[in-house]
Amino acid sequence: MSINANQTKWDSVKRYKLKKMLNELSSISGHGTELVTVYIPPRRPIYDVISQLRNEAGTASNIKSDLTRTHVQDALSRTIEHLKLFKEVSENGLVVFCGAIPTGKGFGTEKIELYSVIPPKPVQINLYRCDDHFWTDHLVDMMKDDKVIGILAIDTQETGLGILTGDRWEVIDSLTSGVAGKHRQGGQSARRFERLRDNELNEYYHRVADHAQKVFIDQFNVKGIIVGGPGPTKENFLKEEYLDYRLQNHVISTLDTSYSGDEGVREIIDKIQEQGVMTEYRLMEEKKIMKKFMSEVYSGKGLGIYGIFDTIKSLQQGFVDTIIVTDNITTLKVDIKCNRCGNIQERFIEKHSIPSVRQELLSIQCPVCKAVDSEISERDIVDYLEELAMMTGTKLEVISGKTEEGAQLASLGKIGAVLRFRPTART
**Domain containing 16 — which CATH number?**
3.30.960.10
The tens digit of pLDDT for each residue in 80-105 reads 999 999 999 999 999 999 999 987 77
Percentage of the chain with pLDDT > 90?
Answer: 72
pLDDT grade, residue 7 (50/70/90)? Answer: very low
Classify residue 293: in a domain, yes or no. no
pLDDT of residue 280: 67
Q: Are residues 187 and 239 in the same domain?
A: yes
Classify residue 119: in a domain, yes or no. yes
Find which of 8-22, 54-68, 333-347 is predicted with most confidence, using mean pLDDT. 333-347
pLDDT of residue 197: 81
Last residue of a domain, one of 143, 161, 190: 143
The arithmetic mean of pLDDT across residues 143-164, rounded, is 91
> How far apart, in whole angstroms, are the C-alpha atoms of residue 322 and residue 310?
14
Q: Are residues 311 and 386 in the same domain?
A: yes
Of residues 319 and 190, the one with the higher pLDDT is 319
Of residues 77 and 64, the one with the higher pLDDT is 77
**CATH number of domain containing 409:** 3.30.1330.30
> Are 374 and 338 within 8 A, CB to CB?
yes
Q: Are residues 137 and 154 in the same domain?
A: no
Q: Are residues 26 and 116 in the same domain?
A: yes
Which residues face 93 on adjacent strands? 90
pLDDT grade, residue 202 (50/70/90)? Answer: very high
The tens digit of pLDDT for each residue in 355-374 reads 999 999 999 999 999 999 99
Classify residue 360: in a domain, yes or no. yes
Burial tier of 256 (Cβ tally within 10 Å: 0-12, 13-18, 19+): middle
Q: Are residues 252 and 375 in the same domain?
A: no
Host domain of residue 348: 298-419
Classify residue 292: in a domain, yes or no. no
Classify residue 289: in a domain, yes or no. no
- In the predicted structure, residue 193 carries a pLDDT above the cut 80: no
Q: Are residues 6 and 138 in the same domain?
A: yes
- H or E segment to which residue 346 belongs: strand 344-350
pLDDT of residue 182: 65
Classify residue 197: in a domain, yes or no. yes
**CATH number of domain containing 197:** 3.30.420.60
Last residue of a domain, one of 108, 143, 178: 143
> How far apart, in whole angstroms, are the C-alpha atoms of residue 238 and residue 183?
25
Which residues face 418 on adjacent strands? 304, 322
> How far apart, in whole angstroms, are the C-alpha atoms of residue 55 and residue 64?
18
Percentage of the chain with pLDDT > 70?
Answer: 93
Q: Are residues 220 and 317 in the same domain?
A: no
pLDDT of residue 5: 39
Amino acid letter, residue 326: T
> How far apart, in whole angstroms, are the C-alpha atoms of residue 77 and residue 54?
8
Classify residue 122: in a domain, yes or no. yes
Classify residue 207: in a domain, yes or no. yes
Last residue of a domain, one of 111, 143, 175: 143
CB atoms within 10 A of CB 141: 11
CB atoms within 10 A of CB 12: 22
Q: Are residues 327 and 366 in the same domain?
A: yes
pLDDT of residue 8: 33
Q: Are residues 174 and 130 in the same domain?
A: no
Count up the domains in the chain and report the number: 3
Q: Are residues 328 and 413 in the same domain?
A: yes
Q: Are residues 132 and 169 in the same domain?
A: no
Q: Are residues 135 and 163 in the same domain?
A: no
> Are 298 and 395 within 8 A, CB to CB?
no
